[in-house]
Structure 1
Amino acid sequence: MADDQAATPLVEAVGVTKRYGETVALDRAGIRVMPGQTHALVGRNGAGKSTLVSILTGLQAPDEGEVRFGGEPAPRLADRDAWRQRVACVYQKSTIIPELTVAENLYLHRHDLNRLGLVRWGALRRKATELLAGWSVDVDVRLPAGELDVEQRQFVEITRALSFGARFIILDEPTAQLDAAAIARLFTRIRALQEQGVTFLFISHHLQEIYEICDTVTVFRDARHILTTTVADLPHAELVAAMAGEAAGLAEGPSRTAVTRGPGVVLDVRGLSYGDAYREIGFRIQTGEIVGLAGAAGSGRTELAETVAGLRAADSGTVEVAGRVPRPGSVPDALAAGVGFVPRDRHHQGFVPMMSIADNATMTVPDRLGEAGLISGRRRDRLARALIDNLAIKTPGPGLPVMGLSGGNQQKVVMARALASDPRLLVLITPTAGVDVKSKEFLLGKVEETAAGGTGVLIASDELDDLRLCDRLLVMFQGRVVAELAAGWHDHDVVAAMEGVRLDA
């Protein structure tokens, strides 16, 4: 009997097909997740991962095929309680309600009431505290959820799912907004929960994470199941080939060699300080040069890049772009000086979801779209089509709302907006977060192409793949630049500097 139970998948989708009109989102696809696993689901944007998740969580039914939990057919879609007892998904975009406390989020619509029908707040807080303690989550239940960081919100969401009885948790791009230290803590928590009987489906574009945390990997491509195998038996190159349908992948190991850049300074940062984030920073970027700002969260890299882009006003020091000194903390001044910007969080800073691709991509260049402050729709769409072609954005036309695009294509729209003004300086913060391998390759290739045209580039990231194309790397630790590495650096040197470790000590 024990062997039979061990051989029965905790979750299984068999022969699942899902169509939206003429579009086939899943084509006889399937997955088998065994109890106690951390099972990776990978694939390029549009491969069918999101559709499968919506079916595994009971948000929609397949047109063909079936889903089983522990060998039994999935509940009816209308029986939401039965689904919550079996499966939950922690999405890249948090479902926590920021205005409510942690306790209220944990037991939303499940409040204990007294005889008068009023919420027993003391009992609610005690129950929430006991729940979090039982799963080793250290968060004050009285705090408004909006005060939690990304990592804390994820742990609260996981705990909320476990409180319904679910022991199968889907993690959708859980590391996209976490730094290296937070990712390590998340992985430690995943392993601990596995020991307590929790099974995970792990969705990520970061292939190294798959090898670090997952037991088994399933690859989808073009709406179909391609392979399922143990992670240890699948070389990196073969995994990328299965995802892409060809032998392709990002470079590993040493970064590329330096490229000769033209004369002229496009960015001159002198004596820049901002609160506790960074102090006395100075560096230059020449015409066509790509400079990286590497560092973990708390290093100051993001705040420094946002200062250069005009989102923050430094306490002291100056930023000079192509001979002009923009007013500190002024995005319009930075734009006028020639700065193009790709922010860290595309969902909250990068685009307006309900607006069209055309409006999003051209919003930084209204002066090119008409006279006397009036926008010509024809001019706007003509420029937007050129940007769509340049960035290879997959869309039926410029009028489509950006929310209708995949993650990789949304990021391309953000890049298109940054390039629309023909910038002298391009500032990028984690530019490939949450996109697939092919989109990552394309976006980084576009950065190189832009630099080859004479634009200076500043890339702030803790993703080494983002930084491999840099001519120089400035590594920040606790608000200061602690190392400058020329092209040809090795991963261990960068990671050591980011963590404040001296390898020669």
Structure 2
Amino acid sequence: MSPAVVEAAHITKRFGSTVALSDAGIVVDQGETHALVGRNGAGKSTLVGILTGLQTPDAGTVTFGGTPAPPISDRDAWRQRVACVYQKSTIIPTLTVAENLFLNRHARGRDRLIRWSTLRREAEQLLATWAVDVDVRQPAATLSVEQRQFVEIARALSFGARFIILDEPTAQLDAAGISRLFDRIRDLRAQGVTFLFISHHLQEIYEICDQVTVFRDARHIVSAPVADLDRQALVTAMTGEDVTMPEAVHRPPPADAPVLLSVRDLRTRSGAELSIEARTGEVVGIAGAGGSGKVEVAEAIVGLARPSGGTVVLDGRTLRPGSVPDALDAGVGLVPQDRHREGLIPQLSIGENVTMTVPDRITRNGFISPARRDAVAREAIADLAIKATGPDVAVSDLSGGNQQKTVMARALASDPKLLVLITPTAGVDVRSKQTLLGVVDEVRGRGSTVLVVSDELDDLRICDRVLVMFQGRVVAEKPRGWTDNELVAAMEGVDLHHV
């Protein structure tokens, strides 16, 4: 048998007093798609850093094709062996596709000047080789998430790497985009490319992967063929215990509960439309695939985007269109779609992030009181089980799931009347998802209204009813008790009653 594409054995890595990996390892064989799963903080990101030569293990070995990994300083040698397409894109938006593909290795003439025609021709040849249909002259900022991923994969392959790590590649894709990505993975695998696939969406593991490795608490727990582990066994391996989503708890609002949120004839600049009334203590889902308009209408409700028409009334107060401060003042709490761009200031601490929208809670005589700020943050850390030593920890040092909990903590800090959650569990593990969704029942119990805007079925199961959007319009309303098939069909624009 040929040696493994990559083998990491007995890897230990510490960051100060924190043990990130303890005698952990993984073996990925030629031509397979191998899943790496585990809760946030399990050690996955540290392993990726070691497999890509960005970090050196304190103990253990890494080999590629049976040969020891190159020195950390030899970046070209690492690029020829492995590449990672991260959840947070490394594409530079202000450059063209061609410039991104050949960054720092532009075609140059004898005069050392860049030969732009040669650069574009080589970029076109590269994308054609790997069947990526993108105009190399367009600015990278105009690419969709899916196109950026394909461009990053092509760039990695151009260095000679045939081992690609995909870090949460489906987190921002709709169902059609995921299907195309999986088709591309299968095509590339047939051409000899090997993948390490990192995802919190366990159903995807069963659809695309051959093998799965589970990490928990910095240790390797199990490696096995995917077919040999059912979903419950996989979740148990990840958590060390049985975990269920909080769908069994259901406290519908009383039939005579007053209307708290009224959205009338809301129209976004992209043309999506929504009218809805939601009652005190009601959890309403807004579902839809990419391009359905669900995110646009949610952002218009909370003031992130200025609508072209319509009104939003919360507890009798008409919100000022396109004004986040007015929405906050009226009692809106928000978990935005993109925590990196809209939800956090990573250089600031947990305490500073959690309390930035509630200065009245943390000031004394007009000045911020660190003691009050930290008290609010400590309460949030305890309530949401944020894994951190204290409120002074920088958000950039947290795992993805704990960053998302910090965003949720800030949304809850003002005790909102309306809590809007946009794709709240994207990129988080099963236990973090349980915590985040469990908060919803507490919020509704206080008489608040919750909007859950997502295409994740687990997110939507907690709702009293789900409005389904397709091409900018509400096409269906599903009461609690819907089946997966009927909700997905509605999201895809299919009426099962007429099929």
| SS state at 2:410 partner | helix
Once the two structures are superposed, the pairs formed by residues 26-175 of structure 1 within 5 Å of their partners are 26-175=21-170
Residue by residue over 1:249-281, the C-alpha shift from the partner in whole angstroms, topping out at 9 and shown as x without a partner, is 4379xx8766244611111011111233413x2
C-alpha separation in 2, matches of 1:460 and 1:141: 34
Alpha-carbon offset, residue 224 of structure 1: 0.9
Alpha-carbon offset, residue 247 of structure 1: 1.7
Residue 414 (str. 1) matches residue 407 (str. 2) = yes
Residue by residue over 1:355-392, the C-alpha shift from the partner in whole angstroms, topping out at 9 and shown as x without a partner, is 11111111111122225653222222222222222222
| SS state at 2:367 partner | coil
Residue by residue over 1:329-356, the C-alpha shift from the partner in whole angstroms, topping out at 9 and shown as x without a partner, is 1111111111100000000000101011
C-alpha separation in 1, matches of 2:269 and 2:55: 48
C-alpha separation in 1, matches of 2:34 and 2:245: 23
1:496 to 482, 489, 499: 489
C-alpha separation in 2, matches of 1:26 and 1:316: 53
Residue by residue over 1:218-245, the C-alpha shift from the partner in whole angstroms, topping out at 9 and shown as x without a partner, is 0011111111111111110000000000
CA contact (8 A) 2:33 2:197 kept: yes
C-alpha separation in 1, matches of 2:386 and 2:25: 29
Partner of 1:267: 261
C-alpha separation in 1, matches of 2:67 and 2:390: 44
Residue 469 (str. 1) matches residue 462 (str. 2) = yes
C-alpha separation in 1, matches of 2:285 and 2:217: 34
Partner of 2:330: 337
C-alpha separation in 1, matches of 2:139 and 2:118: 18
Q: TM-score, normalised by structure 2?
A: 0.97
- Structure 2 gaps of 5+ residues are none
Residue 454 (str. 1) matches residue 447 (str. 2) = yes
| SS state at 1:426 partner | strand
Partner of 2:362: 369
Alpha-carbon offset, residue 131 of structure 1: 0.2
CA contact (8 A) 1:169 1:201 kept: yes
CA contact (8 A) 2:246 2:434 kept: no
Report the CA distance shift for 1:372/1:304 in structure 2 as closer, same or farther (over 3 A).
farther
C-alpha separation in 2, matches of 1:315 and 1:20: 50
| SS state at 2:317 partner | coil
| SS state at 2:166 partner | strand
Task: Give % identity.
Answer: 65
CA contact (8 A) 1:277 1:478 kept: no
C-alpha separation in 1, matches of 2:433 and 2:143: 30
C-alpha separation in 2, matches of 1:295 and 1:79: 46
CA contact (8 A) 1:257 1:487 kept: no
Pairs aligned (count): 497
Q: TM-score, normalised by structure 1?
A: 0.96
Residue 433 (str. 1) matches residue 464 (str. 2) = no
C-alpha separation in 1, matches of 2:493 and 2:154: 33
For 1:266, give the aligned amino acid.
Answer: L
| SS state at 1:212 partner | helix
C-alpha separation in 1, matches of 2:246 and 2:181: 26
Alpha-carbon offset, residue 21 of structure 1: 2.4
C-alpha separation in 2, matches of 1:490 and 1:11: 41
Partner of 1:242: 237
Compare 341-350 and 369-378 and name the one that shifted more: 369-378
| SS state at 1:384 partner | helix
CA contact (8 A) 1:179 1:296 kept: yes
1:289 to 262, 282, 298: 282
C-alpha separation in 2, matches of 1:30 and 1:307: 46
CA contact (8 A) 2:252 2:281 kept: no
Partner of 1:401: 394
Alpha-carbon offset, residue 27 of structure 1: 1.1
1:213 to 208, 215, 219: 208
Compare 466-475 and 15-24 and name the one that shifted more: 15-24
Residue 309 (str. 1) matches residue 309 (str. 2) = no
Residue by residue over 1:109-141, the C-alpha shift from the partner in whole angstroms, topping out at 9 and shown as x without a partner, is 111211111011100000000000110001111
Partner of 1:187: 182
Report the CA distance shift for 1:38/1:201 in structure 2 as closer, same or farther (over 3 A).
same
CA contact (8 A) 2:253 2:279 kept: no
For 2:17, give the aligned amino acid.
Answer: E
Compare 349-358 and 372-381 and name the one that shifted more: 372-381
C-alpha separation in 1, matches of 2:221 and 2:108: 51
C-alpha separation in 1, matches of 2:96 and 2:122: 13
Partner of 2:224: 229
For 1:423, give the aligned amino acid.
Answer: P
Compare 8-17 and 387-396 and name the one that shifted more: 387-396
| SS state at 2:26 partner | strand
C-alpha separation in 1, matches of 2:397 and 2:269: 39
CA contact (8 A) 1:258 1:487 kept: no
Residue by residue over 1:69-89, the C-alpha shift from the partner in whole angstroms, topping out at 9 and shown as x without a partner, is 111111111111111111000
Alpha-carbon offset, residue 316 of structure 1: 1.6
C-alpha separation in 1, matches of 2:322 and 2:37: 40
Alpha-carbon offset, residue 159 of structure 1: 0.4
| SS state at 1:504 partner | helix
Compare 460-469 and 13-22 and name the one that shifted more: 13-22
Report the CA distance shift for 1:377/1:308 in structure 2 as closer, same or farther (over 3 A).
same
